[in-house]
Structure 1
Amino acid sequence: MEDISCLSQKIGEQSIHTFREVWNSLLSGYINNGLIEDVKALFEDMPEKNIISWTSMMIGYVQKDLPEKGLNLLAKNYSGEEGSRIEGNCLTFVMALEACSHLIDLDKGKQIHAKIIRALPDADGNVSVGTTLVDMYSKSGSLCYTLRFFDAMKEKNVVSWTSAIMSFAVHGLAFQVVELFQRMVNMVINPNEVTFTAVLTASSHCGLVDEGMQYFTQMRNRYGLTPKEEHYTCIIDLLGRNERPEEA
């Protein structure tokens, strides 16, 4: 009898798991089609939610440019209003940080960062979390934090480097941009089109004509990248600002 009871319990647990996955699949389907009101109704009707459910709903809000609702949802989960608090995972916190970036809310960003430290001890080894932290601190204007957490990242990829470079480029700090770009190249990480957009933008804003022209040439000759409209726009702006209208 005990064996039958255990088997029945396992079957029941498996049924609940399958049922929940079906609901989560429906959530993802509605989100991918931009049906945010349907997603909200479905989420509220779910008899049992897991972290995938909560995170999917947050993704829906952030994608529909409703970042504050995404953060409110995270707060609701941690308050335990639905009966139990479910710990977030890397994707949950990435979406929360993206919401803070949209709102340019440094205080909430710091709160999310504190939750990450408590919930995910190995988060500094996660490229997505680290890159999103860099982006959040940058958009909030805290460049000292931006560089500190970027340097503390155990793993970096081209997106991480580009995010850090763009952080300084949008604030017109060209020399820091050049330094980061050189560090990236020295680490044998090839820049992409977005990286060069950041570098060329910074060169234009700070009048680094020779450096900007060199980077523009490197795109094609060294890295095999075809310049796009935004790259040509940066170069035209760079030359125009520095009294070289014929070349522009």
Structure 2
Amino acid sequence: MRGLREKTYVVAGGATGIGAAAAARLAEEGALVTVGDINIAGAEATVEQIARAGGRAIAVEFDLADDKSVQAMVDRTIAEFGGVHGLFNVGADLSPANIGRDKTVLETEFDVWQRTLDVNLLGYVRTVRAVLPHLLDRGGGSIVNTSSGTSVGGDPSRVAYGVSKAGVNQLTRHIAINYGRQGIRANGVMPGLVMGETVKNQNDVGLQEMFLTAGRTTRLGVPDDLASVVSFLLSDEAEWINGQVWFIGGGAHLRN
């Protein structure tokens, strides 16, 4: 893809799943990649995979809920690679202790709301605030945020998660509206059911059957399905796409 080679991208949440696949795809396209994650062992494994394939990447431990660690990740990226050209936000708190207690508005405790919004939404605000000034200084760059189909389609459960992702959609549009004329592109992806490590470990057969029934395809998603779209949106091939949030889920949601 045009415009990725020798450019530097931060993948905020690159230890496993979609983030790991996107980091690997960016490196395959010749980009320099920072793989950030609270799971440093997973981030290092992603970097090792990239190195074996001949790419260049670094692993940085950081926490979306911690301002200083977010800034330190961006500072490390610039020190290592000399700059930053784009950001892929993909991290979220999907731990059983958090999302496992995220139910209806009457059932979900406020500590779950606070943790979900602090990581899934404000965490993206933190990474954008750390990266965006550098993109503006160099005259442009690209940001891709990870949302969810629940942000537009609703969900009988996981109310805090859905609200956090609806906020991500609005954050994405806000960035495009305010900084598009300064060379900044901000877009989002809404994955359907993607069979990464977390989803496989959950082994929710009923959810898998529901997506297969709703989808206009013969299979569930895999991380590479999103990695290719994210790499495209970060690349110069997508230079006329801004402020969009795409559903990537085998046609389970049909929307414009």
Higher relative contact order (CA 8 A, sep 6+): 2
Q: Which has the larger radius of gyration?
A: 1
Structure with greater proportional strand content: 2
